[in-house]
Structure 1
């Protein structure tokens, strides 16, 4: 997995880098097939919610993009990780829900049911 953390109008300190990686580890334990992760942390002084966090996660078969904004950068990262966690779990469920028994392995007289 390639991890890229960058800042826009912001210096990414080792504390911020460590915070993002520990929070991201929580998400990555749900899904192992992550190819590339790109995190962008930015500060914009023109808006009310001036701290933004964006993440682009490339997994096998899909790109997931999530963004969040808050007055505090750590709170924005927390919101970002919560949104990303929900999307990764949903993507994993979609991958695993489409697996059914093949026709030649079904017993005679049974039909597939909608669970």
Structure 2
């Protein structure tokens, strides 16, 4: 059985909310042969504008399912996020099982008869339609954010002036900024 870890920010996670989250996420178990070693991480947030955001991350072998939804009602957000996760499962099931067969791996623990395959495009190859080259200039993260804003982009790649490492700043959905620091370590 899938373990579920529910956490709340600016909201007390009541028994009713916890039960509703568990009921909805347990329905996703029908798509997998074994979820006993997986833990679903659920983060519930309520903002000052009374919107409720639900984030769910389910790390599985070979795949991490993640979805988030925001709406004025917590229960509606939970419904929306589980629907989104179900669509992801349907989408990835066909692709992952096909790729595993091509490479000689075992199947990805999906229950085959439970999922109607998603129609795939005939040309399933990933196509890169544009290539850009960038000159990485040494700067700090604040300058990188300013550069990103001036360019009107959602992310910006730069060389950190202090560490000489390659970093990426990006705009998060909540309007704040994130930083990704690349390293040679796994």
When normalised by structure 1's length, the TM-score is: 0.77
Q: Distance in 2 between matches of 1:32 and 1:87?
A: 17
Which residue does the alignment assign to 2:42?
Answer: 39
Stretches (4+) displaced over 4 A: none
Q: Secondary structure at the match of 2:85?
A: helix
Q: Secondary structure at the match of 1:56?
A: strand
Q: Which has the larger radius of gyration?
A: 2
Which residue does the alignment assign to 1:70?
Answer: 71
Q: Distance in 2 between matches of 1:88 and 1:33?
A: 14
Which residue does the alignment assign to 1:8?
Answer: 9
Q: Distance in 2 between matches of 1:8 and 1:64?
A: 21
1:1-115 equivalent positions in 2, closer than 5 A: 1-34=2-35, 35-45=38-48, 47=49, 50-98=51-99, 99=101
- How many Å apart are 1:95 and its aligned residue? 2.6
- How many Å apart are 1:62 and its aligned residue? 1.6
Unmatched 5+ residue regions in structure 1? 103-113
Contact 1:33 1:59 in 2 (8 A): no
The superposition leaves residues 71-111 of structure 1 with CA deviations (integer Å, 9 ceiling, x where unpaired) of 000000000000001112222222322326x8xxxxxxxxx
When normalised by structure 2's length, the TM-score is: 0.49
Structure with greater proportional helix content: 1
Q: What is the number of residues matched between the two proteins?
A: 100
CA RMSD, 1 decimal: 1.9
- How many Å apart are 1:29 and its aligned residue? 1.0
